[in-house]
Structure 1
Amino acid sequence: MSTTKSHTKWLGGLAFASTNPGGVVRIDASVEQGGSDSGLRPKSMMLNSLAGCSAMDIANLVGKMRAEIDTFTIDVEGDLTDEEVQTFHTFRVTYNFFGANLDEAKLEKIVHMSTDKYCGVMAMFRHFAKIEIKINYLAS
């Protein structure tokens, strides 16, 4: 079993510095929520975690499977409940592959290997929300 750690320090107001083994991120709330708008939002960082986890899988698999792409992007949207304590109930993850000779079947396999097998963040999120996957193939 391995353990992941972070350390978060209050900076005043609703601002925090959160450190993990890869660096420091500043967290804050919007002005409307009482913050100073000087950092990332915790719920939005969940979207970044989902995209980042899958992106690392995709980058690794593109190399291993020799898929020809110029680059790729991942867009994530999350829908929140209307309850007082808002939680995510649905995520939409869109993979955008750019290149001249995209092998759609190979790229679809790569995406599904990430989303169904390798991405631990996606596996965790499936315990509390629906995840919709879309793949776009775009000429560059």
Structure 2
Amino acid sequence: MKFQMKPEGGFVTELPYGTLHVSGDETQGFRPYQLMVSSLAVCSGGVLRKILEKMRFNITDITIEANVKRNEEIANRIEHVHLHFTIEGTDLDERKIEKAMELTKKNCSMVQSVLGAIDVKETFEIKTHN
């Protein structure tokens, strides 16, 4: 990836999907911490989806809410991310989904990349359809 400085502030890169604007000023692009949290959430969500599909669950939707705790005294770094998954579908087994969540944390490359630096907590709730 190659990032080019923008005259008005921030940086830009071209990726296969499109142009990505990154800036500390959210009027100029996505903020770096937003991208970090998005990477953790979406990586986890994608891994969870694959695992649940392999377990033959009928999943109709997954929503992820990310709550972030930052430390203003130390470069405003991200210290804690709580990812809460709302999983919707039919015939969902809570114990099997707990196991899937454990596998998700072990297999998400983004979560594994920040271990020891950012505390990532993952919880879930189930919404079943009859």
TM-score normalised according to structure 2 size: 0.86
Which residue of the other structure, out of 41, 44, 49, is the alignment partner of 1:51? 41
Percent identity, please. Answer: 22
Q: How does 1:1-140 map to 2 (within 5 A)?
A: 6-20=1-15, 22-30=17-25, 37-83=27-73, 85-115=75-105, 117-140=106-129
Q: CA RMSD in A?
A: 1.9
Give the corresponding residue for 1:3.
Answer: none
Contact 2:79 2:117 in 1 (8 A): yes
Alpha-carbon distance, 1:13 to partner: 2.3
Indicate the SS of the match to 2:59.
coil
Letter in 1 for 2:7: G
Contact 1:72 1:96 in 2 (8 A): yes
Unaligned runs of 5+ in 2: none
Cα distance between partner residues in 1 of 2:12 and 2:91: 43
Letter in 1 for 2:91: N
Cα distance between partner residues in 2 of 1:18 and 1:77: 27
Letter in 2 for 1:125: V
Contact 2:57 2:91 in 1 (8 A): no
Alpha-carbon distance, 1:38 to partner: 3.3
Cα distance between partner residues in 2 of 1:70 and 1:119: 21
Cα distance between partner residues in 2 of 1:59 and 1:23: 24
Letter in 2 for 1:128: A
Cα distance between partner residues in 1 of 2:18 and 2:47: 21
Unaligned runs of 5+ in 1: 1-5
